[in-house]
Structure 1
Amino acid sequence: MSKVIAIANQKGGVGKTTTSVNLAAGLANMGNKVLVIDADPQASLSICMGQQEPDKLEPTIVDIIEKLVNEEEIPDGYAIIKHSDNIDLLPSNIGLSAAEVSLVNVMSRELVLKGYIDSVKDNYDYVIIDCMPSLGVMTVNALACADTCLVPVQAAFLPVKGLQALIKTIYTVKRRLNPKLEIEGILLTMVDSRTNYAKDIIAEVNEVYGKSIPVFPIQIPVSVRATETSAMSKSIFEYDPKGKVAAAYSTLTEVVMKNS
């Protein structure tokens, strides 16, 4: 059985793309076949996975959405790039911004992506969707076809404060569009465990949300090495395999697999 995980937060810079890349790599290292979908017009995920000029790529998720809207057949493997032995990538580019706007007038616009995901997910053990930093139509599409939503949040006051809107959206999607949707967990990222501030934020997240929503027992530490991986187009397991961030993402991978 395949599992579809949307990685979402309406605030940017909280580690969504880093988590998408490294969770995919961790799952692949454990022998799972993974499809990673870039659902953000900034195409950060595509760039992190080696596609340095995503705006020149054809076809991408933009073309898939166009075919879905026009009810055209999508050939097997269309737009999917083989990244490594166990990881495939469905890239994005800036054209996704226009595609999202065009979805506004489409019937059942929140479910456009669901048919496509349902048609390809059986080829994979995991499908990971890196959502854009908004609660727009594309993010709702991702949530509508996901089994779970993983929520990365920076260990800081404002990102944590913004969780309420996202959680409300997730439960609205669950109620109206996707009854099976669950929250995989809240993942605290960029944590400087040496500071009392970070400890206070972790305690607050567990206090406010932990009673009703899973909070991962592992936090992703702040690290310059982790930041450098984006420019190197490598996962943390390739770039700094013995570092603390690789150890944290390895533990996260184990928890996600245990939840499957």
Structure 2
Amino acid sequence: MTRNDEVETQLPGMDAASIAVKPGPTGRPQRAFPVPAPLAQHGPAKIIALCNQKGGVGKTTTSINLGASLAEYGRRVLAVDFDPQGALSAGLGARTHDATTIYDLLLNRHADVQEAIQSTSTPGLDIIPANIDLSAAEVHLVNEVAREQILAGVLRKVANDYDVILVDCQPSLGILTVNALTASHGVLIPLECEYFALRGVALLIETIDKVRERLNPAIELDGILATMYDSRTLHSREVLERVVDAFGDRVLETVISRTVKFPDASVAATPITQFAPEHQAAEAYRQLARELVFRGAVA
């Protein structure tokens, strides 16, 4: 492995969230958030949509590894593949053919949600898969009554079985993404540390505001997550500084660095926390899980 493959993000082993460790990549003190306490009971789930209309920013990677990290901390997690490309399903080794998918649940109100749920290799992490059929859903949903709320109705049936439901959205702001936002309590925006990735964030936040105003008053922005960060490049550092200047505390302290371990783990259909449990990337996603619990975005 070359030096270009790794960027240092490892946090010292501190257990007090209030202790400033060192200046972090975001320019703020980088804290070590505490390991969350076990839950006395499970459910109802906090539903979080992972959205960005730009592709290739780390939505699916974050859905997989955040879900696995939360499951490590005793949370029951359901990942919902809401992208016709089915990358989340492939990344978790889910069956997508001859299987009930999220497409079936959207179009058939009598379909059994439990039949669509598949377990993964990570204890506590389940998935509802998707395949290319989902690309036809927008056409079929156009004439449906309350079409923006169909996913919410599907997830409501299993919300009490989980602590967190992560919805991996497709890279668009179409009716499927609006469905995800309408169903969700919070939104996590993965943002690649690259200039062109910045341009659509304001539009996405505007869309979230419209959904809050018209469809889902409860939705909140849980945070903007910087991904694919390379501290050795001036460009990455400048983009991250601009994001923090623009959005302040809405930018999470956790930063996900670029590494070849992520595509390697994807090929193995395994979360990074299992594929390379001691790697800095695995610790970064555990840190993200701890930060979201600390912020109250997740139970």
- TM-score bracket, normalised by the shorter chain, equals over 0.9
Corresponding position: 1:143 with 2:186: no
**Offset at 1:76?**
5.4
Q: Which moved more, 1:171-180 or 1:80-89?
A: 80-89
Is 1:239 matched with 2:275? yes
Match of 2:105 in 1: 64
* Secondary structure of 1:31's aligned partner: coil
What TM-score does the superposition give when structure 1 sets the normalisation length? Answer: 0.94
Q: Percent identity, please.
A: 40
Where 1:12 maps in the other structure, the secondary structure is: coil
Amino acid at match of 1:30: Y
Q: Which moved more, 1:234-243 or 1:76-85?
A: 76-85
Change (3 A) 1:207 1:76: closer
List structure 1 segments (4+ residues) > 4 angstroms apart after TM superposition. Answer: none
Letter in 1 for 2:290: E
Match of 1:100 in 2: 138
Q: Structure 2: how far apart are the matches of 1:45 and 1:104?
A: 25
Q: What is the letter of the counterpart of residue 66 of structure 1? A: L
TM-superposed deviation, 1:75 = 2.9
- Write the letter of the residue equivalent to 2:279: G
* 2:74 matches 1:36: no
* Cα RMSD, aligned residues only: 1.2
Counterpart CA distance in 2 for 1:32 and 1:48 is 20
Displacement of 1:57 in angstroms is: 3.6
How far 1:85 sits from its partner (Å)? Answer: 2.7
Q: Corresponding residue for 1:254?
A: 290
Counterparts of 1:103 and 1:74 in 2: how far apart (Å)?
Answer: 16
After alignment, is 11-20 or 201-210 more displaced?
Answer: 201-210
User: Which structure 1 residue ranges, 5 or more long, are not aligned?
Assistant: none
Q: Distance in 2 between matches of 1:85 and 1:232?
A: 17
Quote the residue 1:196 is aligned against. Answer: 234
Q: Which residue of 1 aligns with 2:117?
A: 80
Preserved CA contact (<8 Å) 1:80 1:90: yes
C-alpha distance 201-126 of structure 1, shift in aligned 2 (>3 A): same
C-alpha deviations, 1:91-147, integer Å up to 9, x for none? 000000111221111111111111111121110011000000100111100100101
SS in 2 for 1:220: strand
- Conservation of the 8 A alpha-carbon contact between 1:187 and 1:218: yes
Tell me how far 1:184 sits from its aligned partner: 0.8
Please give the alpha-carbon distance, in whole angstroms, between the structure 1 residues aligned to 2:111 and 2:136.
20
Distance in 2 of aligned mates of 1:184 and 1:78: 30
Higher helix residue share: 1
User: Structure 1: how far apart are the matches of 2:45 and 2:177?
Assistant: 20
Q: 1:57·1:93 contact (CA, 8 Å) conserved in 2?
A: no
Q: Deviations over 1:145-201 (max 9, x none)?
A: 101000001000001111111111111111111111001100010000112211111
Q: Deviations over 1:56-97 (max 9, x none)?
A: 2421111101113xxxx3335121111143111100000001
Change (3 A) 1:159 1:45: same
